[in-house]
Amino acid sequence: ELGIDSPDAMRHHSALTLTADEVSVLDLLEEPTSIDVLCQKTGLAIGALLSVLSVLELKSMIRSSDGDTYQKI
């Protein structure tokens, strides 16, 4: 084995290391949701929200569509 984790294994590991903000955002992404709605529902400043969204994308837990809409994978 090369020591490379499968995407599912990486997602499982990432889920164990989520911040409170990441959990809040992830919980809202069962269906496609716009940045504006996420900002209102989480109470996060836009910069903080964009940071959380970027981290969740890097952890392969969400995806972006249409530029400002996100959904859980």
pLDDT (tens digit per residue) in 27-52: 999 999 999 999 999 999 999 999 99
Cα pseudo-dihedral 60, 15, 11, 30, rounded to 10: -60
- Considering the entire predicted model, what is its pTM? 0.78
Q: Is 60 left (phi over 0), alpha (psi -120 to 50) or beta?
A: left
Residue 63 has pLDDT above 90, yes or no: yes
Query: Which ranges in 1-73 belong to alpha helices (H)?
Result: 7-16, 20-27, 35-42, 46-58
CA distances from 24 to 1, 10, 19, 44 (A): 36, 20, 9, 10
Three-class secondary structure of residue 68 per DSSP: coil
